[in-house]
């Protein structure tokens, strides 16, 4: 991996995935491991839809990531939008709330990344999303960011 991009090339098992009769893929790992990046890249390469668990876990708010969607509503929305289809990529975690969708997965990809790299990525992501002033000391999101990273 270079520059945060995943090299989906000859070594990646795309032939195996392409031969599957259904392609319901789950890309999971700790926050900052790159599940959304890899999920999006796989979906693009395979020309199938990509979904991220954050889009179902959180209700839309401004600022974002403030209010949880109830678990039953998450599952109902996923069922309505993509679960019955034969091909999709889901990135992110369903741990603790998504056991009902786990039997749908044809393939699960688990990403493991060194902690230092994940924390660096998470700090960069928080800064991109909310701005340096918001996540820095004294910022409205600083305490939340630090708690999340601990």
Domain locations along the chain: 1-113, 114-150
- State CA 104 to chain mean position distance: 17
Report the C-alpha gap between 14 and 87 in whole angstroms.
14
Report the C-alpha gap between 32 and 36 in whole angstroms.
9
3-7, 88-92, 93-97, 98-102 — which is least confidently predicted?
3-7
pLDDT at res. 139: 84
Between 97 and 133, the more confident residue is 97
First to last CA, the chain: 26
Q: Is the pLDDT of residue 78 over 90?
A: yes
Q: Is the dihedral of CA 71, 35, 50, 23 positive or negative?
A: negative
Query: If one looks up domain 1-113 in CATH, what number appears?
Result: 3.40.50.300
The 10s digit of each residue's pLDDT in 97-126 is 999 999 999 999 999 999 999 899 888 988
Q: Rounded to two decimals, what is the model's pTM? A: 0.79
């Amino acid at each position: 991996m270079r520059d945060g991009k995943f090299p989906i090339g000859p070594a990646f098992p795309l032939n195996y995935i392409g031969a599957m009769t259904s392609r319901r893929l789950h890309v999971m790992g700790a926050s900052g491991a790159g599940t959304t990046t890899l999920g999006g890249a796989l979906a693009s390469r395979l020309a199938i839809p990509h979904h991220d668990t954050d889009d179902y876990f959180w209700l839309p708010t401004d600022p974002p990531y403030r209010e949880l969607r109830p678990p039953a509503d998450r599952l109902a929305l996923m069922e309505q939008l993509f679960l019955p289809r034969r091909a999709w990529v889901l990135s992110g975690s369903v741990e603790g709330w998504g056991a009902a969708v786990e039997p749908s997965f044809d393939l699960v990809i688990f990403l493991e990344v060194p902690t230092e790299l994940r924390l660096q990525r998470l700090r960069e992501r928080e800064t991109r999303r909310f701005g340096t002033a918001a996540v820095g000391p004294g910022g409205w999101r600083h305490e939340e960011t630090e708690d999340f990273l601990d």
